[in-house]
Amino acid sequence: MTQISSIDENVEESIEQNIEKNPQEKYLADYKASAFLIDSLDLDFDLYDEHTIVKARSVIRRVAGKNSPLFLFGEHLTLRSITVDGNDFAHYKLVEGGIELSELPDNFILDIETEINPLANKAFEGLYKSGEAFCTQCEAEGFRRITYYLDRPDILAKFSTTISADKALYPSLLSNGNRVDQGDLDNGRHFVKWVDPFPKPAYLFALVAGEFDCLTDSFTTKSGRHVALELFVDKGNLDKTAHAMLALKNSMKWDEERFNLEYDLDIYMIVAVDFFNMGAMENKGLNIFNSKFVLANSQSATDQDYLGIEAVIGHEYFHNWTGNRITCRDWFQLSLKEGLTVFRDQEFSSDMGSRSSNRIANVKIMRNHQFAEDAGPMSHPIRPASVIEMNNFYTVTVYNKGSEVIRMLHTLLGEEKFQQGMALYVERHDGQAVTCDDFVAAMTDASGIDLTLFKRWYSQSGTPQISITDHFDANSNSYQITFKQKNRSTADQKNKLPLHIPVDIELLDKAGKAIELGHGQTNKVLSLTQKEQTFVFENVAEHPVPCVFRSLSAPVKYQYAYSDEQLLHLISFASDEFSRWDAGQMLFNKYLVNNVQLKQAGKAFALPTLFVDAFNSVLSNESLDSALIADMFDFISENGAMELFERVDIELIHDAREFIVNALATALYPVFVRRYHQHQLSAQYQPATDDIAQRKLANCALLYIAKSDQTLANELVIKQIETADNMTDHLGALQAANSGKLACYDVVMNDFDNKWFENGLVMDKWFALQASLSSDSVLDNIEQLFNHRSFDYSNPNRLRALVGTFVNANSYYFHAIDGSGYQFLTDQLIKLNSQNPQVAARLITPLIQFKRLDAKRIELMKAQLNRLLEIENLSLDLYEKVTKALSL
């Protein structure tokens, strides 16, 4: 074995330190195509925990820049050898972030041998150990931790991968493509060779080696291709894989039927691992999943787990075409694949289950999280103009707002023309790395609709604010409605331009009937393209109640001076279930704001009778979907409520929200009790849409009973836990005990702990409950839970469950006026900075969104951010967010 010299090791160490001290911002405008292309890459892995040897043979050709050097990215690598066309090569030097090779021919074969330490890799990027298995995560820039390479998404090469390892420890050796060879080696080792026939960027490379249980199945595509399906999980988890396999087959069938897209390899594999920063990764033919989004049975997984598994399985499968076969030219185009694929998985979930419930859930993400991101220091458009650390742009803006942009295109074009645009996009760009502009061009050319103005959504950040006024002329029977769009300055952009905003509108008469708006249609999509625009509807006999932005047809905040009576009218009669829910949310938000203002004026909290009557009408309505009723009573979070105020009062928002919820619980107590008993299911558990809705309403009712009658709630919780045949009802009872601070709380939580302490995914639910407890002792409790037998600080799922829940979902205590919450989070960020900066950068979000808080809290938060800046080798992930927050 040839060792690299200590001099080179020291050079590499100083380079890494220099990267940390001098972060360089990258700009979309600076994109340049590579002077070199790689036609093929043959990889050979000799797997060992602490000294894996990687041999990489690249077939490279120069396409521009005569005599220019070749820069290959590389991090945390020990270089063992370099040859060009089989000869030792000395014309290289280690430079910041990689290696530079000079005096190269125009066409050559490059062989590079490196050594890496997977066991020491706690960042979970590149090749690392996940429990007892080897695993990779290469998106966005993890491949450079495996070997020196042109690690950029516009370099597409055909990969072959040979893996050798101890056969007893690692009987399954997996990579991309099709298995073409395998056999035994000396010393109890064996090998498997994989060939992927489709060119791909390095971020889609995957390798897994371990000992697993495997669920096998098959799928036959509509053209007759037989595809082997293999789902790998840790030993003992095979009984939790059936739902994931069903979701995969449903995804494959749905993509053929809805988008006319077929799978293209002979095998499709999924591997579930415990240590994973993301939800899942769409590596070509070998998806690697966080086990959270694979494992489920009725005893250990909730209805939401089942739905989440279905959505994420679908998402990664749909990437096969929208992300893999057609990929991004550069990482600024990330929403090209993620926004489009989120839209596709949302549509899949809606077609498979409840469309209204799915739409409500997706809008909650926008309002509770994305709107805040738009208003904070990390504000950015779905196609950012600049970036320091690419991992920081795996955001709700790029993913969820990106999906909303695709949804707006679908709304403007309609299903038929949208599908024509998709077909043209695939036809034009299969096998290419392209841009968001290429996607919009395909939609324009296929539909004939001018989308020039619409493209501003890709480059302009912020949440548009729409004010709406109307006028009815009884003499001419005409109704006019005026929209004014305001696009406020954001942290990243000062000057804004009008956007192309689709407004899906319905007009209701006094009887609740939708007024015909032409061509037999009772709703119409208006195109708002100016700062102020008026639309006129003729032959309207009376002043209607406008139902605007049906299904939230654009990711905006809108304001119309609805009276309580008009909101009740929408709740009762809107044909769009989402709009009924939205009207209920507007009514709740209106009185949340009113009650904060009352208390600020020295007055008592108060609610009008109509408010209670409105929600009574919902809860008592036997014809409404049960899931919709439950959603109507799941009001805006305290985090989301901050978006309703120019200046946030943490305590008053908390108190006012609690007052309203408790008032409803008390006033509607008999109806909640009736609904609870009415929707208890006695049949065997099934994750079917109707059953999910029944459980959802029953557990919603139990939560409200716990706030109004603790004695009854205590009895119901104990009984529900004793009789529950599924985790949904068990957890629903625990949530009621937690929310109502019931007498049985400690007992039922201890029983749950003793039953499930060996199952990390189940215990994540328990940790999250502990972190969400409304108690002055919650932070001390969390600190103690770091030493719990089920907690593993190095596991991202455990951290998200305990720390993430506290800082994101327990706003009142996170924002404690003594600053203890801020200090606690900063302590964790400092620890994670050197261990897993990706997770740290995701956890920091509530610490940088302080713009609307009071002066004292802003000072306390900035003090903690400055504390972060003072630590040595602050990761780029944290550096970017901290400096942007402090610059405001």
Q: What share of the chain is helix, strand, coil (3-state, %, to 5)?
A: 45, 20, 35
Do 242 and 135 belong together in one domain? no
pLDDT of the residue at 17: 35
pLDDT of the residue at 24: 82
| d(C-alpha 487, C-alpha 556), whole Å | 10
Quick check: helix, strand or coil at residue 65? coil
| d(C-alpha 466, C-alpha 529), whole Å | 12
Asked if omega into 33 is within 30° of 0 (cis), the reply is no
Cβ contact 128:103 at 8 Å: no
Quick check: helix, strand or coil at residue 233? strand
* Positive or negative torsion for Cα 114, 117, 122, 126: positive
Question: Which residues of the chain fall short of a pLDDT of 70?
Answer: 1-22
Q: Which of 555, 553, 558, 550 is nearest to 399 (CA)?
A: 555
Domain annotation covers residue 685: no
Quick check: helix, strand or coil at residue 762? helix
Do 141 and 273 belong together in one domain? no
Q: Which residue has the tokens 């009815």?
A: 472
Return the ∠ at Cα 222 (arms to 241 and 311), rounded to 5°: 35
Q: Which of 195, 202, 204 is nearest to 177 (CA)?
A: 195
| d(C-alpha 853, C-alpha 658), whole Å | 20
Domain annotation covers residue 835: no
Quick check: helix, strand or coil at residue 408? helix
| d(C-alpha 137, C-alpha 413), whole Å | 37
The CATH number of whichever domain residue 550 belongs to comes to 2.60.40.1840
Q: Which of 84, 30, 95, 31 is nearest to 56 (CA)?
A: 84
One of 125, 139, 310, 316 is an active-site residue; which one?
Answer: 316
The CATH number of whichever domain residue 277 belongs to comes to 3.30.2010.30
Looking at residue 551, its amino acid is S
Q: What is the dihedral of CA 135, 137, 138, 139, to 10 degrees?
A: 160
The DSSP H or E segment spanning 45 is strand 36-46
Domain annotation covers residue 545: yes
Q: What token pair was written down for 326?
A: 């057609």
| Of the residues 561, 592, 624, the one at which a domain ends | 561
* Positive or negative torsion for Cα 276, 279, 283, 288: positive
What DSSP state is assigned to residue 691? H
Domain annotation covers residue 818: no
**Quick one: how many helices (H) and strands (E) in the chain?**
31, 31
Cβ contact 125:145 at 8 Å: yes
Do 270 and 361 belong together in one domain? no
The string of DSSP letters for 623-682 reads: TS-HHHHHHHTSPPPHHHHGGG-SS--HHHHHHHHHHHHHHHHHHTHHHHHHHHHHT---
| d(C-alpha 76, C-alpha 6), whole Å | 14
Which residues pair with residue 163 across a beta bridge?
45, 192
**Domain tally for the chain?**
4
Do 187 and 251 belong together in one domain? no
Chain centroid to Cα 858, Å, comes to 28
* 617-676 per-position pLDDT tens digit: 999 999 999 999 999 999 999 999 999 999 999 999 999 999 999 999 999 999 999 999
pLDDT of the residue at 682: 86
Do 235 and 334 belong together in one domain? no
| Of the residues 459, 480, 508, the one at which a domain ends | 459
Q: What token pair was written down for 332?
A: 């600024």
pLDDT of the residue at 888: 87
Q: Which of 131, 396, 274, 304 is nearest to 796 (CA)?
A: 274
The CATH number of whichever domain residue 363 belongs to comes to 1.10.390.10
| d(C-alpha 695, C-alpha 673), whole Å | 14
Is 316 catalytic? The answer is yes
pLDDT of the residue at 718: 98
Do 398 and 432 belong together in one domain? yes
The string of DSSP letters for 182-206 reads: EEE-STTEEEEEEE--S-B-GGG--
Looking at residue 766, its amino acid is W
Q: In what order do the strands lie in the sheet with 172-175?
A: 126-130, 133-137, 207-210, 172-175
Domain annotation covers residue 566: no
Q: Which of 448, 452, 365 is nearest to 403 (CA)?
A: 365
Domain annotation covers residue 133: yes
Q: Convert 499-527 to b/e letters by CB count within 10 Å (16 or more is b).
A: bbbbbbbbbbbeeeebbebeeeeebbebe
Domain annotation covers residue 774: no
Do 47 and 173 belong together in one domain? yes
pLDDT of the residue at 647: 95
Cβ contact 706:742 at 8 Å: yes
Cβ contact 207:177 at 8 Å: no
Return the ∠ at Cα 665 (arms to 661 and 670), rounded to 5°: 160
Cβ contact 43:56 at 8 Å: yes
| d(C-alpha 443, C-alpha 425), whole Å | 8
Quick check: helix, strand or coil at residue 613? helix
| d(C-alpha 464, C-alpha 507), whole Å | 23
| d(C-alpha 20, C-alpha 16), whole Å | 7
Residue partners of 883: CB distance under 8 A and separation at least 6? 869
| d(C-alpha 562, C-alpha 545), whole Å | 9
Q: Which residue has the tokens 């095979």?
A: 238
Q: What token pair was written down for 390?
A: 């690419």
Do 140 and 225 belong together in one domain? no
Do 225 and 170 belong together in one domain? no
Do 494 and 555 belong together in one domain? yes
| d(C-alpha 39, C-alpha 55), whole Å | 17
| CA within 13 Å, CB half, 640 | 19
pLDDT of the residue at 22: 61
| Of the residues 405, 425, 459, the one at which a domain ends | 459
Cβ contact 671:687 at 8 Å: no
Put residue 669 in one of left, alpha, beta given phi > 0 → left and psi -120 to 50 → alpha. alpha
| d(C-alpha 841, C-alpha 829), whole Å | 8
Do 161 and 277 belong together in one domain? no
Chain centroid to Cα 851, Å, comes to 24
| d(C-alpha 410, C-alpha 504), whole Å | 12
Cβ contact 373:382 at 8 Å: no
Range of the domain at 478: 465-561
Quick check: helix, strand or coil at residue 585? helix
| d(C-alpha 336, C-alpha 56), whole Å | 30
pLDDT of the residue at 749: 98
pLDDT of the residue at 252: 98
Q: Which of 717, 620, 725 is nearest to 678 (CA)?
A: 620
State how beta strands 207-210 and 172-175 pair: antiparallel
pLDDT of the residue at 91: 98
Residue partners of 597: CB distance under 8 A and separation at least 6? none
Distances 43 to 40, 97, 146, 625, 822 between C-alpha atoms, Å: 10, 21, 10, 54, 46
Residue partners of 654: CB distance under 8 A and separation at least 6? 638, 811, 812
Cβ contact 60:108 at 8 Å: yes
Largest CA distance in the chain: 94
Domain annotation covers residue 729: no
Looking at residue 499, its amino acid is L
Question: 878: how many CB neighbours lie within 10 A of its CB?
Answer: 24
Do 450 and 469 belong together in one domain? no
| d(C-alpha 105, C-alpha 111), whole Å | 14
Which residues pair with residue 98 across a beta bridge?
73, 95
